[in-house]
Amino acid sequence: MKRREFIQQTTAASALVGLGGFGLQSFSSSPKKITILHTNDVHSHIDPFGPEDGRNPNQGGIARRATLIEGIRAKSPNTLLLDAGDIFQGTPYFNYYGGELEFKLMSMLKYDAATIGNHDFDNGLDGLYAQLPHAKFDFISANYDFSNTIMDTHVKPYKTFIKNGIKIGVFGLGIQLSGLVDKNMYKETVYLNPIEIAQDMSRILKEDEKCDLVICLSHLGYNYRNNTEKPSDMSLAKLTKDIDLIIGGHTHTFLPKPTIVKNSVDQNVLVNQVGCFGINLGKIDFYFDSNKNKSAEGVSILV
């Protein structure tokens, strides 16, 4: 693994944390590693770009992504694979098969969950619903209320996973649909305030579900510099707590590396997004040991 840049490593753990130390270490096994892999805005880009492509020559391709993911899983078996939405729309594969192939291939790659992007409504709620049988992974969205639609009960607000004894909670967030998606497409889907929902979700996942790791799978967009009122991953990170990682989409932002943001209680949150079209794969490794590094300042982040 390449460590591109050493951003932060604060080893100043508090005295209290230090005291409990020795007894615990003897009990605990070696550190556990959880790997989170993610894509966003793949937009039906199943085939790689050709060598002649003006912008992204020889980039992307789901069959190559499969090889990459398989290699990572071989080294790091406790891996989650997530997608932050806009799976649909962008190549004739979608126009001809309505998303069937996208879902089948993502199932073959063993995606664990995806959230719903605005373009996933492009064939309407009926079009999305029709493709659900091809997806062997769950759709999660906490701020789209589908109760009065055909999608009711088919989308969960969050999902928890247990990997090697580590409990991971993942919740989904979607962007405001009115003005972006034709009403005929999303029908009675109700958009709820993503910041408020994220505050609820992080509390539920941290306190009720007792998750060790809380991940937000968001299609809000990375940052809106000219419209700070518009919810984005960056504003979400700053206004909430107990979220460890925000995986974003929508704005097709090619981050060279994850962004580190301070949340509402001055703890670090990672915000990441990997552009679009399956050109990059995000990879975040979390290393766990027994609870003597409780203080977030004691966590070293290497990005």
Partner 1 sequence: MNFKNIFLLLGLFLSMSCKSPTDVFKIEGQNVNINDSLQSQANIESFIKPYRENINKDLDSILGYSVDTYSKSDGDLNTAIGNLMADVIYEEADPVFFKRTGSHIDFVLMNHGGIRSIISKGPISKRTAFELMPFENSIVVSKLPGANVKELLEYLAKAKRAHPISKLKIVLNKDGQIIKSSLNQIPIDFIKTYYVATNDYLINGGDGMDFFKGSEEVIVLDYKIRNALIDYFMKTDTINPVIDDRFIQLND
Considering only residues 183 to 242 of the shown chain, the ones binding partner 1 according to CB under 8 A are 184, 212-213
281 binds partner 1 (CB under 8 A): yes
Q: What gap in Å lies between CA 236 and CA 248, rounded to an integer?
A: 11
Of 114-173, binders to partner 1 (CB under 8 A) are 122, 165-167
Question: What span, in angstroms and rounded, lies between the C-alpha atoms of 288 and 65?
Answer: 27
Closer to partner 1 by Cβ: residue 10 or 147 = 10
Asked if 78 and 163 count as a contact pair (C-beta separation under 8 A), the reply is yes
Of 104-112, 125-133, 170-178, 194-202: span binding partner 1 (CB under 8 A): 104-112
Considering only the stretches 150-158, 189-197, 229-237, 255-263, report the one whose residues sit in contact with partner 1 under the rule CB under 8 A.
255-263
Asked if 282 and 247 touch (Cβ cutoff 8 Å), the reply is: yes
In DSSP terms, which residues pair with 172 in a beta bridge?
Answer: 217
Question: How many angstroms separate the CA atoms of 226 and 266, rounded?
Answer: 25
CB of 241 to partner 1, least distance (A): 15
Question: Does residue number 64 form part of the binding site for partner 1 (CB under 8 A)?
Answer: yes
Name which of 143 and 253 has its Cβ closer to partner 1: 253
The region of 133-141, 147-155, 214-222, 252-260 touching partner 1 under the rule CB under 8 A is 252-260
Q: Does the footprint of partner 1 cover residue 10 (CB under 8 A)?
A: no
Q: Give the up-direction half-sphere exposure of residue 245: CA atoms within 13 A in the CB hemisphere.
A: 26
Number of chain residues interacting with partner 1 (CB under 8 A): 82
Which token pair is 121?
A: 């409504």
How many C-beta atoms lie closer than 10 Å to residue 184's C-beta? Answer: 9
Q: Which is nearer to partner 1, 136 or 287 (CB)?
A: 287
Tokens (6 digits) for 132:
């659900």
Phi/psi for 147 (5° steps) reads -50, -35
Interface residue with partner 1 among 44, 78, 89, 202 (CB under 8 A) is 89
Of 44, 62, 216, 222, the one binding partner 1 (CB under 8 A) is 62
Report how far residue 140's alpha carbon sits from residue 293's, in angstroms, rounded to the nearest whole number.
Answer: 31
Decide if 296 contacts 268 (C-beta within 8 A).
yes
Nearer to partner 1, 97 or 224 (CB): 97
Distance between the two ends of the chain, CA-based, in angstroms? Answer: 11
Q: How far is the CB of 106 from partner 1 (least distance, A)?
A: 11
The answer to whether residue 46 forms part of the interface with partner 1 (CB under 8 A) is yes
Quickly tell me which residue has 């589908």 as its tokens: 146
- The letter for the amino acid at 60 is G
Does position 294 interact with partner 1 (CB under 8 A)? The reply is yes
Which CB, 143 or 259, lies closer to partner 1? 259
Q: Which is nearer to partner 1, 61 or 156 (CB)?
A: 61
